[in-house]
Amino acid sequence: MTTYRKDPEAVARLTAQQRRVALEGGTEPAFQNEYWDNKEPGIYVDVVSGEPLFASTDKYDSRTGWPSFTKPLEAENVVTKRDSSLGMVRTEVRSAHGDSHLGHLFDDGPAAAGGQRYCMNSASLRFIPAAELEAKGYGSYRHLFEKEDA
């Protein structure tokens, strides 16, 4: 079983934008981030711990300009906290093992999928394409994409 933790080497490799978002709780600009319109099959992992967070199978176009998901890939890798910054109360989403700020959770997602919208920052995520899951150590998630590859 893989143990995930904040990796000092991964932290040292962060860009200024990734550091501002993942470590300092910032937000990247809508429609100006790496994964908002990514439609490739694969999973999204924490940029500093590598813990699996979301799958493209649960990603949808929320028309907000950020990658949005209906649910986490592994619920135990995602934690929520009350966020009362910016003069409003929101639910912050963080990675459980890397403690990265990922984004926020809203109740305006697709009703048929549970009604939740995990609105994430690309800067806190690393995308692992389905074709590279085995090579990158995430082979246990290959089954999610077998129908898409057929």
Separation of alpha carbons 114 and 107, rounded Å: 9
Give residue limits of the domains in the chain. Answer: 8-143
Mean pLDDT value of segment 81-99: 88
- Considering 22, 45, 47, 119, which one is annotated as catalytic? 119
Q: What is the mean pLDDT of the chain?
A: 94
Which SS3 state, helix, strand or coil, does residue 22 take? helix
Phi/psi region, residue 11 (left: phi>0; alpha: psi -120 to 50; beta: rest), is: alpha
Answering whether pTM is above 0.75, one says yes
Separation of alpha carbons 20 and 33, rounded Å: 14
Q: What is the pLDDT of residues 115-142, one digit of tens each?
A: 999 999 999 999 999 999 999 999 999 9
What confidence score (pLDDT) does residue 1 get? Answer: 66
Superfamily per CATH, domain 8-143: Peptide methionine sulfoxide reductase. (2.170.150.20)
Active site annotation includes 76? no
